[in-house]
């Protein structure tokens, strides 16, 4: 059971109220939404190809297909860029043809592509017609890369919260003699293979281990994690370590009672704000 008295609370209800009332609304920092460095880096190696394809902007629609065919024959380096115009990262694109009930893979690699397949694909998907409707392919592809980058937001979400906790831990121990922080520590001996998100050492001896996660919504994953950490607690206790689970997010509003039921063995379950308020006292007792 959560050891609310060690954390300075008079009752479990007081702890529960504080946990729920101080949950972060979001862990989405300004950097969460778009990784602009990644967007521009993905395009800077294709500036020549983009320039070649941009020439199609000036071609009349009735000449567009023949001019496009000439370009891919004479400048094959533009072919791998074509799927990106449709927000596709792969160089091998599957197509199901309803008319003849067949399917195939169209190769957009620089070598080995079929010119007729590339032209047909570009015409029938509307890719080719796009050149008569945009002024600058580079600007268009910046928007495409921004859209594709949204797929990476889920990974950034977890990393951002973990990094925020790490920054807080660094701040807390900065002026404490003999303390240091290790990220992704797999050297802590608890008689099982385990890499902790963070570990605080005092005089080169591990004292506190941390796991961090953030849940914007409900689901089975948080409860599975709680079960796993409950099983872990005994091994950590036997190693004479303190385990602090730092978890946050509005998803816990609807799952908190379940969390308390499945995490009866975990002494310290705190959110980000609680960690900030409690950690000084915990460190002082080490």
Boundary (domain end) residue, out of 88, 117, 151: 151
Q: Does residue 27 sit in the same domain as residue 109?
A: no
- Enclosing domain of residue 23: 12-32+153-284
pLDDT in tens, the chain (286 residues): 888 998 999 999 999 999 999 999 998 888 889 999 999 999 999 999 999 999 999 999 999 999 999 999 999 999 999 999 999 999 999 999 888 878 999 999 998 899 999 999 999 999 999 999 999 999 999 999 999 988 788 777 778 899 999 999 999 999 999 999 999 988 888 877 889 999 999 999 999 999 999 998 888 888 888 888 988 888 898 899 999 999 999 999 999 988 888 878 899 999 999 999 999 999 998 8
Residue 7 lies in a domain: no
C-alpha–C-alpha distance, residues 172 and 207, integer Å: 14
Helices and strands (H, E) in the chain, number of each type: 12, 7
The pTM (predicted TM-score) of the whole model is: 0.77
Q: Does residue 200 sit in the same domain as residue 260?
A: yes
Boundary (domain end) residue, out of 151, 185, 200: 151
The angle subtended at Cα 200 by Cα 194 and Cα 205, nearest 5°, is 85
Q: Does residue 26 sit in the same domain as residue 167?
A: yes
Boundary (domain end) residue, out of 88, 123, 151: 151
Query: Using an 8 Å Cβ cutoff, are 210 and 164 in contact?
Result: no
Number of domains, the chain: 2
CA distances to 141, 162, 204, 263 from 83, rounded to whole Å, are 11, 35, 52, 48
Residue 18 lies in a domain: yes
Q: Does residue 147 sit in the same domain as residue 164?
A: no
């Amino acid at each position: 059971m959560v050891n609310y008295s060690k954390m300075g609370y008079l009752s479990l209800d007081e702890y529960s109220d504080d946990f729920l009332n101080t949950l972060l609304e979001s862990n989405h920092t300004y950097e969460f939404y778009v990784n602009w460095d990644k967007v521009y880096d993905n395009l800077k190696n294709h500036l020549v190809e983009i320039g070649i394809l941009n020439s199609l902007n000036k071609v009349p629609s009735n000449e567009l297909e023949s001019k496009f065919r000439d370009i891919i024959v004479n400048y094959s380096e533009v072919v791998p860029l074509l799927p990106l115009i449709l927000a596709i990262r792969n160089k091998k694109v599957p197509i199901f043809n309803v008319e003849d009930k067949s399917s195939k893979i169209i190769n957009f690699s620089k070598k080995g592509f079929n010119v007729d397949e590339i032209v047909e694909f570009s015409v029938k998907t509307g890719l080719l017609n796009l050149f008569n409707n945009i002024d600058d392919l580079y600007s268009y592809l910046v928007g495409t890369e921004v859209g594709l980058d949204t797929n990476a937001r889920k990974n950034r979400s977890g990393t951002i919260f973990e990094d925020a906790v790490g920054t807080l831990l660094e701040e807390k121990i900065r002026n404490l003699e003999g303390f240091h922080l290790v990220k992704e520590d797999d050297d802590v001996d608890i008689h099982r293979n385990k890499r902790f998100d963070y570990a605080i050492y005092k005089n080169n001896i591990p004292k506190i281990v941390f796991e961090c996660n953030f849940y914007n919504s409900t689901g089975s994953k948080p409860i599975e994690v709680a079960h796993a950490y409950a099983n872990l607690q005994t091994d950590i206790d036997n190693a004479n370590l303190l385990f602090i689970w730092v978890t946050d997010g509005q998803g816990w509003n609807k799952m908190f009672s379940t969390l308390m039921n499945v995490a009866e063995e975990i002494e310290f379950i705190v959110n980000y704000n609680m960690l900030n308020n409690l950690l000084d006292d915990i460190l002082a007792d080490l």
